[in-house]
Amino acid sequence: MVERLRLLPVAEQLSALIGGRPVTALFDCIGPGVEAAVAHMAEGDIVLLENLRFHPEEKANDPAFAKTLADLADIYVNDAFAVCHRAHASVVGIPNYLPAVAGLLLENELETFRNILERPQRPFAAVIGGAKVSDKLSVLDNVITRVDLLLVGGGMASTFIRSRGYDVGASRVETDRLDAVRRIADRAETLQVRLLLPQDVVVADRLEAGARTRTVPVTEIPEGWIVADIGSKTIDEFSRELSRCATVVWNGPMGVFEVPEFAEGTRRIAADLAALPGTTVIGGGSTAEAVAQMGLADRITHVSTGGGAALKVLGGEPLPGVEALQEA
């Protein structure tokens, strides 16, 4: 058991959110002590089981572990979209033993993504960033068939830039994905989807606060320098194009936003989406973190609670946790 990963602070916060009603944080999630605490609950009592991941059986989706958890309850409600991409005991195992339903948050997440992917108001744009192309290939492959406009930024843009024959200095390039990004560009052309890559970038001698920086065209990235953010001309172009859209989904920051010198691209895209009168959806993870840090989350139509799960949905892949509910 790792003390800093215990759920006592969660119990305290939950208690505060529900008007001070007590929430009992148990010291484990299975065992005689847990069974006794649950058996002695009166109407209206609330107990919070301890972190399931302290037991390796959780990630292993152990049937006996799932059955032990299920024996504590009469009904199972999954309201955790953020874990629905994981085939863990508490996500896909418990529904084998109990009546199982989706919670309101999970229902809202699924409906939101279904609506933008299947029935978007157009023009529909996807803004995709983040560090690695390999993390977003399925997303790119899926959204390219649905959007009118695809904007690419972040560290993954270096692989796109390199695929077009330009040097990207010391920036990370996934050389094994160059053919894949070329295929995406070809599909965009075939489908008449506008694919916008950075035309200029902020480069740095290191990805740390206080680094030397300069803004250069993507055709002139100096040797030994690292792409850290999209440049001002790219920001202006992306902003102009997004202002014409009725629906935008965004997953992945435009640069290393945790460092102030490299946060402008992410900040401007967040501000643009916050000002957009149409439907705006943030695909969870670090993008949601950035929007929250900038105080703009309440001006976005939907900020997803799940990074990995959002990637699966945007990639057109099934979520094990949702499939388990449907089977139940």
**Quick one: average pLDDT of 276-284?**
95
**Is it the case that residue 92 has pLDDT exceeding 90?**
yes
Whose CA is closest to 322, among 111, 87, 84, 113?
Answer: 84
Count CA within 13 A, CB hemisphere, residue 62.
Answer: 12
**Quick one: average pLDDT of 98-123?**
98
Rg of the chain on CA atoms, in Å:
23
Q: What is the pTM of this model?
A: 0.94
Q: Burial, 233: exposed, middle or buried (Cβ in 10 Å; 0-12, 13-18, 19+)?
A: middle
User: Which segments of the chain does DSSP mark as H helices, in order?
Assistant: 8-17, 32-39, 56-59, 63-70, 104-118, 137-143, 157-163, 178-190, 232-242, 264-275, 285-293, 307-314, 320-327
What SS3 class is residue 65?
A: helix
Would you state the pLDDT for residue 1?
81
Across all residues in the chain, what is the average pLDDT? Answer: 97
Residues 159-183 pLDDT 10s:
999 999 999 999 999 999 999 999 9
**Quick one: average pLDDT of 297-308?**
96
Number of residues in the chain: 328
Residues 5-51 pLDDT 10s:
999 999 999 999 999 999 999 999 999 999 999 999 999 999 999 99
Would you state the pLDDT for residue 125?
98
* Long-range pairs of 65-68 with CB within 8 A, sequence gap ≥ 24: 65/30, 65/89, 65/93, 66/90, 66/93, 66/94, 66/96, 66/97, 67/93, 67/97, 68/30
Would you state the pLDDT for residue 264?
97
User: Do residues 211 and 261 touch, judged by C-beta distance below 8 A?
Assistant: yes
Question: Confidence class of residue 284 from pLDDT cuts 50, 70 and 90?
Answer: confident
3-state secondary structure 80-149: CHHHCCCCCHHHHHHHHCCCEEECHHHHHHHHHHHHHHHCCCCCEEEEECCCCHHHCHHHHHHHCCCCCE
User: Do residues 76 and 106 touch, judged by C-beta distance below 8 A?
Assistant: no
Percent of the chain with pLDDT over 90: 98
**Is it the case that residue 219 has pLDDT exceeding 90?**
yes
**Tokens 């692989």 belong to which residue?**
159
Cβ contacts of residue 280 below 8 Å, gap of 6+?
247, 248, 249, 250, 273, 274, 300, 301, 302
Sketch out the chain's domains with CATH numbers.
3-104+319-327 (3.40.50.1260), 114-295 (3.40.50.1260)
